[in-house]
Amino acid sequence: MSENTAASIPLAPGARIRGESFAEPLGPKTQAVGSEASTTFAILVSLSLCHFFNDMNQSLVPAIYPILKQSYHLDFGQIGLITLAFQMTASLLQPVVGMVTDKKPMPYSLPIAMGCSLVGLMMLSVAGSYHMILIAAAMVGLGSSVFHPESSRVARMASGGRYGFAQSLFQLGGSSGSAIGPLLAAFIVVPRGQGSIAWFSVAALLAIMVLTYVGAWYSRHPAMLARRGRRTPVVALASPLSRGKVIGALTVIMVLLFSKNVYTSSLSSYYTFYLIQKFHLSVPHAQYMLFGFLGAVAVGTFAGGPIGDRVGRKPVIWFSILGAFPFALLLPYASLVWTGVLSVVIGLILASAFSAIIVYAQELLPGRIGLVAGMMFGLSFGLGGLGAAALGQIADVTGIETVYRVCSFLPLIGLLTALLPNIEPRKVR
C-alpha cells in the first residue's frame, strides 16, 4: 500500500492501520450492495444451516444419555464425565484456534472441523465401552473447537455492519439444531438403538459440502486478499477502553456466562432424568419436553441480536440473565404442566444474552474476532461441561431435584452486569 493510499483512508478516532493483522472489514459503508449483498446473506444462511447440522449432531450426545446409562449401567457422575469430555475439548482448544486464525486464517478449516465431528459420530455409533464413548464425545467436541471461532468470524464478515443480526442468525441455526436433536433421538435412536447414530453422518457430509463453498467465499474476501498483498490493508479499531478495563469487563462476562451456561447445562443434561424421576414420564415424553425447552432457546437466541442492534448489548444482557431468576426459582416446585411452561420461559429469556455477549466482547477487542469467538464459545462449552460434571456428582449424593433447587439461584449473578462499562452510548442514542 502506498503512502498516498494510506493517507486517503478516513480513520475513526482510535483507529490504526494494521497491515499484518487479520482485522475485520472497514464497516457497513464498505460493504457491496446488490448481488454482493445477496451473496453475503447466502453465506449467513449457509453458516446457519451448517451450525444447525453441527449442533444437531452434538445434541445427540446428551439426548442419548438415558440409553447409555441403561446399556452401560452408568451413574450420574459418569454421565457428567461424558459431557465434560465432550465440552472440555472444545473449551480448551477454541481460544487457541481463535488466536491462531486471527494471525493465519484458514478458510478450509471449516469442512475439516465438520469431518472431525463426523468421525466422532461414527465412533459413538459403534462404541462398545465407556472409554470409547468418552473418546467419541471428545472427537465431536474437537470439531466444535474449530467450527465455532472460524464460522463466527465469517458471519461477522458477511454481516454488512449488522453484527447482532448476523450473530443471531448464525446462532439460530445452532440453537435450532440443539433443539431438534433430542426429538430426532426420540424418534430414531431410542427405538433403533445406538447404531442408528450413524445415520446422522449424512447431515455432517452435507455440511462439509456447504462449508467448502463457504471456505471458497472466505478465501476471496477482501480481508483475505489484503493479507496476500492484493488489496489495501484494512483498518482495525483500537479498543474503546484501557487494557485494565477490558480485562475487567471480560472477567465479568466470563462470570455471567458461568451463571447462564451452568444453569442451561442443568436443564439440557439432566432435564429428562428430572422429569422421569419426579413425574414418572417415559423417555420419549421427557425428550419432547426437552425439545420444548431447546426450541425456546433457539427463539430467544435469534431475538437477542437484533434487539441488541437497536437498544444496545448491555440492556439485553441485563434482562436475559437476571430476568430468568424468578422463573428459575419457581421451577423446582412446579407441577408437570407448569414445569414445561417455566422451562420454555427460562429458555427464551436466558438464550437472548448470548449473541449480545459475543458482539459486546468483539467490540471490546476489535480485530480479535477469532480469539473472542473462541473464548465465548469455548467458555460456554467448558463452563457447561464443568457444571454438568459437578451437578452429576451432586445428583448422585443428594438427588436430581436438589440440583434444580441449587441452580435456581444462579441467575442472581446477573447483577454483575452493572459492572460492565457502557461502550456504545452514541450508537444506542
Domain ranges of the chain: 30-428
If you ran DSSP here, which 8-state letter would residue 15 be given? E
Q: Which fold has domain 30-428?
A: Growth Hormone; Chain: A; (1.20.1250)
- pLDDT score at 28: 40
For 1, half-sphere exposure in the C-beta direction (CA atoms, 13 angstrom radius) is: 20
Select from 417, 384, 407 the least CA-distant residue to 85.
384
Which residues lie below 8 Å from residue 186, measured CB to CB, with a gap of 6+?
A: 63, 283, 284, 287, 288, 291
* pLDDT value of position 343: 93
The pLDDT score that the predictor gives to residue 288 is 84
pLDDT given for residue 228 in this prediction:
53
What is the model's pLDDT at position 24? 45
Backbone torsions φ then ψ of 364, nearest 5 degrees:
-70, -35
Count CB neighbours of 10 within 10 A.
9
- Residue 31 has what DSSP assignment? S
Q: Give the pLDDT of residue 23.
A: 42
DSSP 239: P
pLDDT tens string, the chain, 429 residues long: the values are: 444 444 333 444 444 434 333 444 434 443 444 444 555 888 999 999 999 999 888 878 877 887 888 888 888 888 878 877 887 777 777 888 888 888 887 888 899 999 998 999 899 888 888 899 999 988 988 888 888 888 888 888 888 778 888 888 888 888 788 778 777 887 888 788 888 888 988 999 999 999 999 988 988 876 665 555 544 444 445 666 788 888 888 889 888 888 888 888 778 778 888 898 889 888 888 878 888 888 888 788 788 778 877 888 888 888 888 888 999 999 999 999 999 999 999 989 988 888 888 888 888 888 777 788 777 777 666 666 677 778 888 888 888 888 888 888 988 888 888 888 887 654 444
Whether 296 contacts 347, CB under 8 Å: yes
Helix, strand or coil, per DSSP, at residue 16 = strand
Q: What is the pTM of this model?
A: 0.67
Contact criterion met (CB below 8 Å) for 397 and 338: no
> And the C-alpha cell for 61?
450426545
